[in-house]
Structure 1
């Protein structure tokens, strides 16, 4: 029996265990949508293709499973580009399907034609243009394998319309063999021994945990390493949730808007153990003064990251879960009272704080979100001050509960990502902590949430500014607010127009009751928290500065 390419695509997805797709139909994918009509796969119709890929991204980050999205050719495909780049920077497993004009029309500037494989070549882990229906099932198998193994990332499959129509026999491959693609999963035993010895010999060791810990599910091994050696742990933005922030050894986030005590610890440690992190500029500040007294162990599944930004004394290529498990076997329990006392002194002297005077503070809103949820929620964010406040003032204790665009810093990410996260983890309360600027970039996805009865909550920290850009203008441009003051819509009326619940809060005493009402509503809620207009996100390392010279806080 023969099946069309569209039917083969759907059957292949079912073989991969896919039960959820986010997408938007169009002419080049009509055959695929017709095949989906008869399948058991749940399709969520978004209101913009960027919403589809961000939702797939949020789904992947919340569940650990690959996210899947579908768009038509031309503008439908190009509308995925920002979301693909977002996933690529943060190593998120996504398989994106795009329609394409028929094979004989490719390269002729045909209606709704775009060279999407060429466009996305720098921002995908791999991509495919399938010109023969007989290659489709194998290509899909390879795409899921590539997206989810080694360092995960987005893979795109471009399918011409005639390929979706033509028929062939269906046989889904059981295995994948890709020449030249063999991710290293286990660390070199000699380097693991060297790392273990350095840890045992160090007087002031520090663990620097990144998103790789979350991706590999290595949070238990990380906790064991920290408790076994008495080693404090600081995380990147993407590593938040990999180590419980209510643990005595937790230093919270490091870097540009990290805690002062985390940054001071980096500057004074004699051994830095980097686990699944990439030493990006927002973490390191000036490279020549980053961890100046430390030897560095760098554990990462991607060999291209090791030595890319900083010198490394012991490089270990491998899946961090496997590597940490092997290192832990070679360690003995240790105490470092002088280092512990120094860390305790920094924590007491430089706590994360803010002024309680004046109007409603955005930090207070985030703290109340934590109090109401008791930490049992998934928090997504937009990008800017809202993102930093969410990272600083909510206490995360589990992996995959903080979902944000880290590497690319994509405004408009949080709402569709929240939708994807809620679809993937329906038992969790999901709250998007947003700014009044970034929320408007994909506000149309509120319709997706309402139509599909997905009870996500959006908490807008509304200051009538593009907050982070305004902060930089205040500090570095002598307060010249060049085109950063904005006037948004009436968010309560906008929520009601979409069919969601709209709530406005202007005073601190009303924050907790409003949040409790939003959670109890069990429907999409848009909350307008009117906050202090010129509140700044501190501490802050100035661009080009060093971690031990922070502003504010």
Structure 2
């Protein structure tokens, strides 16, 4: 993954980046922030736009540094790119005082040697990595432990792979995942941030596992005797009630015929909620080929795969009919978008805000290619979708970038339509307009006996708003207009917004708070 670079001024420019930096830190996104600072001669005096950005950055970055001499700049920039991209990617910050920023750099100013290139240094770390067994004083070699895991996979009856964002941060990760799944005939489910690492049209695809995930993915995790976790943290959204996660795999671990096996690059992602049976620490590009080599091909798992197919047919995502007022439903909208982009997915990038629309998109849009889904997973930042679409469009000018957004989330950053217009970025925005904060209302109803508060909102006229900022726009009032409106949106050569009027409705299926993954509310 290539890091994004952000340039901001001192004071509010820097403090406004706290949420983006936290989002990048929690989701493992490489980002380099270069911020201004007041001149060294007035630091500590409460000068105009002076803040202690280093104190702030220490809690929301992987690494931060303040440039004190012009000669230190090359080394600090080099280190910043290393830290942003190595181990688990994340945000870093460089603070450059005004007087140093205005200075003219000469090569003779450099007093410190540059650090080694990130890839070389990372390989050096990898050679020292060992597998770590929980509750064990020994650290046997990776080869021996992958031998053990591969034997369990080869001998087990009901294996499953849970793939996360770590697969996408590795260039060869999606390819290795696909090869392991196909060779071992192992079904694959993904976390929210892992969507796109496995072709969701593949017969072995189980789509997203989550408290908002596909029922058949949840059932498979709960029934499996071996769970292989590749690059996923297993947070509470992915596991439901941790005491009841993967009970069959845990039982198999007690009998030494299965278990939960977690592959990750760093210990910091392991064992926070779910204690795995065994952990492999290492670059997935190094350890997954070792596992692939040891798997038996053509393993007969027809009984397991038949059971999964029955679950998939019984609990397939249905498209509900239009609402009582003839409006399109969220599910209809995403299904139609998925249909019209089915042959274009090699150059489609989807972004979302945060709310019901985010979960509907994750559930129902079928991702085929790596890094085609950009969303705020861990921090859950409303307003993320539109700025993310702008960034994705600039990084991928040949892609069709579509922001699927809710009205409440979109209102957080809707002014950025002006940025898209100014730079003529042909992003597409679909606003689910139900005049409500749907996820908030749904959670309030579940937690407080049906009582709700502050979950309704008065929206602006999104069509007129977009046009006032130089963007194209249309409104889809009724379900019968949906196909034509989405076709218009996809064909529009300029930044465009489609305002889809909808009725308020619950986001289903869902695992109620505190319940096991397979205790799903379906309707």
1:470 maps to which residue? 441
Contact 1:237 1:406 (8 Å CA) reproduced: yes
**Residue number among 79, 87, 97 corresponding to 2:16 in the alignment:** 79
> Structure 1: which 5+ residue stretches go unaligned?
1-63
1:6 maps to which residue? none
Secondary structure at 1:326 match in 2: helix
Q: Does 1:338 align with 2:306?
A: no
1:492 maps to which residue? 463
1:44 maps to which residue? none
> Separation in 2 of the partners of 1:137 and 1:73?
21
Q: Residue deviations 1:60-110, cap 9 Å, x none? A: xxxx31100111011110001100011111101110111011123222222
**Residue number among 205, 212, 236 corresponding to 1:281 in the alignment:** 236
> Separation in 1 of the partners of 2:471 and 2:394?
17
Q: Does 1:448 align with 2:416?
A: no
1:131 maps to which residue? 68
Contact 2:54 2:66 (8 Å CA) reproduced: yes
Secondary structure at 1:325 match in 2: helix
Contact 2:162 2:227 (8 Å CA) reproduced: yes
> What's the C-alpha RMSD, in Å, of the aligned pairs?
1.7
Secondary structure at 2:458 match in 1: coil
Report which stretch shifted further, 101-110 or 226-235.
101-110
1:356 maps to which residue? 321
**Residue number among 126, 130, 135 corresponding to 1:184 in the alignment:** 126
Q: Residue deviations 1:35-62, cap 9 Å, x none? A: xxxxxxxxxxxxxxxxxxxxxxxxxxxx
The higher-RCO structure (CA 8 Å, 6+ apart) is: 1
Q: Does 1:216 align with 2:170?
A: yes
**Residue number among 331, 334, 341 corresponding to 1:373 in the alignment:** 341
Contact 1:184 1:317 (8 Å CA) reproduced: no
> Separation in 1 of the partners of 2:337 and 2:331?
10
Q: Does 1:512 align with 2:483?
A: yes
Where has structure 1 moved over 3 Å in runs of 4 or more? 171-175, 180-187
Report which stretch shifted further, 121-130 or 193-202.
193-202
Secondary structure at 1:407 match in 2: coil
- What aligned pairs does 1:166-315 form with structure 2 within 5 A after superposition? 166-170=103-107, 175-176=115-116, 183-184=125-126, 188-217=142-171, 218-294=173-249, 295-315=259-279
Report which stretch shifted further, 134-143 or 196-205.
196-205
Normalising by structure 1, we get a TM-score of 0.85
Normalising by structure 2, we get a TM-score of 0.90
1:436 maps to which residue? 407
**Residue number among 518, 536, 544 corresponding to 2:506 in the alignment:** 536
Contact 2:75 2:115 (8 Å CA) reproduced: no
> Separation in 1 of the partners of 2:367 and 2:490?
19
Cα drift, residue 467 of structure 1: 1.1
Cα drift, residue 214 of structure 1: 0.9
Secondary structure at 1:293 match in 2: helix
1:426 maps to which residue? 397
Cα drift, residue 184 of structure 1: 3.3
Cα drift, residue 165 of structure 1: 2.1
> Structure 2: which 5+ residue stretches go unaligned?
131-141, 250-258
Secondary structure at 2:515 match in 1: coil
Contact 2:322 2:479 (8 Å CA) reproduced: no
> Separation in 1 of the partners of 2:446 and 2:273?
28
- What aligned pairs does 1:9-24 form with structure 2 within 5 A after superposition? none
Distance 1:75 1:183, change over 3 A: farther
Q: Does 1:156 align with 2:93?
A: yes
Say how many residue pairs are matched: 488
Secondary structure at 2:454 match in 1: coil
Secondary structure at 1:439 match in 2: helix
Cα drift, residue 379 of structure 1: 0.5
